[in-house]
Amino acid sequence: MKGPLKFKRRPATALVAMANSLSMGDAVPGGELRQIITAVVSDRAERAALLAAIRTANDPDCGLAVADLLTAYASEAAEAEAQARDADQVIGQWAQRLAAGALLASFGAAIAGTVTGGLAFGLTLLSFSGFVFATASRIGGRGKMRRRAQDRDSADSLARHVLEAGKLKKEGK
């Protein structure tokens, strides 16, 4: 696998440039770096371009710096995933249970005749909509969790491949 001699300006080459710049002591804004890594990790063409660029690069440490950035991004994504899971299990689950409990309680009160008429209907409606809202918010939170898990896996595998590409370059294959 040999890449082209001259690369276009694209997220993959921008990532190599940023990694090189960081290893030379220049500061790169963290938000921009994260955005570039997200763009590279989630796009197949960018991943392929990054591997080709690492294979073509003249500096053997270049791949190491890029792989380290990718690993740091993966651990950041893992942390975000753990936080999302905590929020889902601690807050989301209990919000759902509270609303379900309120729904059952309003049914019970209406059946027993403690609460009657419009008030009973209003309470049932309120707790039912609370349950629907809690379920919807949990689904949204779990979607984010899954996305972060996918980000972490892709960044991890890309970091491994970048290291491999650097090794191949060193061995002159």
Shortest reach from residue 39's CB to another protein, in Å: 6
Give the nearer residue to another protein in terms of CB position, either 138 or 161.
138
30, burial (CB in 10 Å: exposed 0-12, middle 13-18, buried 19+): exposed
| Chain residues in the site for another protein (CB under 8 A) | 5-11, 13-14, 16-18, 20-21, 24, 26, 28-29, 31-32, 35-36, 39, 53, 56-59, 62, 84, 87-88, 91-92, 94-96, 98-99, 101-102, 105-106, 109, 114-115, 119, 123, 126-127, 130-131, 133-134, 136-138, 140-141, 143-144
Give the nearer residue to another protein in terms of CB position, either 145 or 155.
145
Shortest reach from residue 160's CB to another protein, in Å: 21
Give the nearer residue to another protein in terms of CB position, either 45 or 119.
119
Buried b (16+ CB within 10 A) or exposed e, 33-68: beebbbebbebeebbebbbbbbbbbeeeebbbbbbb
Tokens of 30: 């963290």
Give the nearer residue to another protein in terms of CB position, either 75 or 133.
133
Shortest reach from residue 146's CB to another protein, in Å: 11
Of 72, 59, 75, 77, which is closest to residue 21 (Cα–Cα)?
Answer: 59
Buried b (16+ CB within 10 A) or exposed e, 99-127: bbebbeebeebbeeeebeeeebeebbeeb
Give the nearer residue to another protein in terms of CB position, either 9 or 44.
9
